[in-house]
């Protein structure tokens, strides 16, 4: 149920008159739930801003949170929840900070008299505060989703270094799940590095790949075939025991591609090959 | 050692663009710098066969680093050139394939069977040198004891 304009005005007056009492009891209730992660002064500052926001919205005649006079309050709420989301607070902890206003308000109302009228007022005010708390929850989720999107982007950027192991030998340590987008990036970078460094050998190390299914194997095989077409040889290394079992169980065939258990084995194999190829000629 | 004789005009169309064939030591070097139209590819195949016979070279290096597109016809022509050269006792190596070309070929499922590749001309020449340095017959003699004569 929405606030009527008179109710809103009454609450605005109440927030104005008993400001200090309200802020004190509100902060008191919230500080317990934050377990010392926010200083008392900081919390008081946030809460006094919030209470001013509530007061301004109600005095402006806002009947619900989506009304025009409450725009300022909405901005404050989303700023509060965004800031706390980045600091690692949970959604409940943020919502409780708003809900605590209800209890503080109830305490204020208890000191006054006129039971029947105040009950009606209180229920209306309470639903207004509920809206505010739900709004903080929404903006909390939005901020967290932005964070996740940012991190995913960063992950793709740092995901695939191609390192030079030896003269004529480069390695790609694959870390993390290999989906089509990443496989494409890996393939392009590896092939370009082969051209740039004119290295005839490449080692693909899959120690950091958590699972190998047919699709991942397909991506790796494509990379190896493309490298061969360009005249470079690929070795797959870092195959863990469970992965080996999965590969066999799925019936994936690596054909004549050399596979080694560890990167060290692969490097030894490559160097042996390179020497063998060089010796008869000199 | 280094000569770039213009290829002789053959029976087929003299107005077709020609790919120059350079002789360096015992190797014929072909650097394809123009679009490989079908006619150009066929002309190259013909010229190369002629030159392998006339020069008696034992290696052919085809540099395709300037090619943006390798379609199935060009791929097949390269394979044919390799086969023809092998019949004439010359090893063919295709060098300098671009990453984008390799990725496209793999996506299309073309793997250019029968063609040997190297990353660049230098590595291709090294590969040919290794091939010629170890004739298979000599290798067996080296493994057996030739010095002390106890073999027989």
From the list B112, B120, B124, which residue is nearest A229 (CB)? B112
Q: Write down the pLDDT at residue A170.
A: 94
Identify the domain containing residue A120 by its residue range.
5-154
Q: Over chain B, what is the mean pLDDT?
A: 80
A188 → chain B, closest CA residue: B99
Q: Write down the pLDDT at residue B7.
A: 47
Do A250 and A270 reside in the same domain of the chain? Answer: yes
pLDDT-derived band at A263 (thresholds 50, 70, 90) equals very high
Render pLDDT for B93-131 as a digit per residue (tens, 0 to 9).
999 999 999 998 888 888 788 889 999 999 999 888 888
Closest approach of B119 to chain A, Cα-based (Å): 5
Do A144 and A246 reside in the same domain of the chain? Answer: no
Do A146 and A16 reside in the same domain of the chain? Answer: yes
Range B34-56 average pLDDT: 90
Q: Which of B41, B51, B33, B53 is nearest to B16 (CA)?
A: B41
The DSSP bridge partners found for residue B22 are B29
Range A98-112 average pLDDT: 80
Residue bearing the bigger pLDDT, B137 or B104: B104
Range A183-209 average pLDDT: 90
From the list A194, A195, A281, which residue is nearest B130 (CB)? A281
Q: Write down the pLDDT at residue A114.
A: 60
A110 has pLDDT over 90: no
Render pLDDT for B54-89 as a digit per residue (tens, 0 to 9).
998 899 999 999 988 888 888 888 999 999 999 998
Do A42 and A17 reside in the same domain of the chain? Answer: yes
Least confident piece of the model among A17-26, A263-272, B41-50, B132-141: B132-141
B50 has pLDDT over 60: yes
Q: Write down the pLDDT at residue B93.
A: 93
What's the structural domain count of chain A? 2
3-state secondary structure of B103: helix
B11 has pLDDT over 50: no
Q: Among A154, A175, A197, identify where a domain stops.
A: A154
B116 → chain A, closest CA residue: A231
Range A192-205 average pLDDT: 92
Do A142 and A196 reside in the same domain of the chain? Answer: no
Q: Write down the pLDDT at residue B9.
A: 47
Do A128 and A192 reside in the same domain of the chain? Answer: no
The answer to whether B81 and B104 have CB atoms below 8 angstroms apart is: no
Q: Among A122, A154, A186, identify where a domain stops.
A: A154
Range A257-274 average pLDDT: 91
B27 has pLDDT over 80: yes
Q: Write down the pLDDT at residue B2.
A: 45
Give the whole-angstrom CA distance, residue A94 versus residue A86.
12
| Residues of chain B with C-beta less than 8 angstroms from the C-beta of A226 | 99, 102-103, 105-106
From the list B94, B111, B122, which residue is nearest A225 (CB)? B111
Supply the CATH classification number for the domain B14-143.
Answer: 3.30.750.24
Do A208 and A91 reside in the same domain of the chain? Answer: no
In chain B, domain spans: 14-143
Do A14 and A145 reside in the same domain of the chain? Answer: yes
Q: Write down the pLDDT at residue B138.
A: 53
pTM: 0.62
Q: Write down the pLDDT at residue A123.
A: 81
Q: Write down the pLDDT at residue B136.
A: 56
A282 has pLDDT over 70: no
Residue B70 has phi, psi (to 5 degrees) of -120, 105
Token pair, residue A48, equals 């006094």
ipTM of the complex model: 0.72
Inter-chain residue contact B102 with A226, CB threshold 8 Å: yes
Q: Among A154, A184, A207, identify where a domain stops.
A: A154
Inter-chain residue contact B133 with A280, CB threshold 8 Å: yes
Q: Token match 């008696």: residue?
A: B56
The answer to whether B88 and B53 have CB atoms below 8 angstroms apart is: yes
Please tell me which of A2-16, A78-92, B98-112 the model is most confident about, judged by mean pLDDT.
Answer: B98-112
3-state secondary structure of A85: helix
Do A172 and A135 reside in the same domain of the chain? Answer: no
For residue A56, the domain's CATH number is: 1.10.490
């Amino acid at each position: 149920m929405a606030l009527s304009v008179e109710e809103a005005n009454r609450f605005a007056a109440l927030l104005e008159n008993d400001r200090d009492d309200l802020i004190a009891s509100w902060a008191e209730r919230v500080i317990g739930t934050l377990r010392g992660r926010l200083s008392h002064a900081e919390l008081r500052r946030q809460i006094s801003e919030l209470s001013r926001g509530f007061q301004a919205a109600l005095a402006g005649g806002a009947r619900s949170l989506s009304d025009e006079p409450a725009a300022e309050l909405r901005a404050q709420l989303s700023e509060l929840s965004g800031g706390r989301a980045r600091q690692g607070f949970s959604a409940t902890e943020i919502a409780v900070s708003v809900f605590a206003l209800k209890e503080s308000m109830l305490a204020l109302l208890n000191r006054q008299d006129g039971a029947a009228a105040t009950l009606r007022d209180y229920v209306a005010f309470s639903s207004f505060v509920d809206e505010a708390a739900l709004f903080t929850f929404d903006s909390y989720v939005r901020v967290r989703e932005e964070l996740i999107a940012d991190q995913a982007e960063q992950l793709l950027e740092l995901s695939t270094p191609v390192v030079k192991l030896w003269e004529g030998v480069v390695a790609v340590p694959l870390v993390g799940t290999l989906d089509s987008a990443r496989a494409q990036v890996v393939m392009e970078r590896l092939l370009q590095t082969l051209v740039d460094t004119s290295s005839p050998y490449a080692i693909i190390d899959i120690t950091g790949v958590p699972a190998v299914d047919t699709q991942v194997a397909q991506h790796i095989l494509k990379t190896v075939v493309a490298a061969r077409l360009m005249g470079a040889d690929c070795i797959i290394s870092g195959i863990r025991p469970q992965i080996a079992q999965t590969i066999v169980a799925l019936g994936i065939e690596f054909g004549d591609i050399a596979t080694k258990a560890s990167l060290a084995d692969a490097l030894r194999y490559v160097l042996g090959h390179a020497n063998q190829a060089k010796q008869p000629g000199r | 050692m280094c000569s770039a004789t213009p290829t002789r005009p053959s029976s087929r169309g003299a107005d077709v663009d020609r790919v120059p064939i350079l002789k360096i030591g015992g190797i014929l070097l072909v650097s394809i710098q123009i679009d490989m139209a079908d006619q150009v590819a066929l002309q190259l195949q013909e010229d190369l066969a002629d030159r392998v016979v006339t020069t008696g070279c034992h290696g052919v290096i085809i540099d395709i680093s300037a090619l943006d597109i390798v379609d199935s016809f060009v791929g097949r022509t390269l394979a044919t050139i390799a086969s023809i050269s092998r019949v004439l006792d010359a090893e063919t190596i295709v060098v300098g394939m671009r990453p984008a070309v390799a990725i496209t070929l793999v996506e299309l499922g073309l793997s250019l069977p029968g063609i040997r590749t190297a990353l660049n001309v230098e590595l291709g020449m090294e590969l040919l040198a290794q091939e010629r340095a170890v004739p298979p017959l000599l290798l067996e003699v080296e493994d057996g004891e030739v010095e002390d004569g106890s073999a027989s």
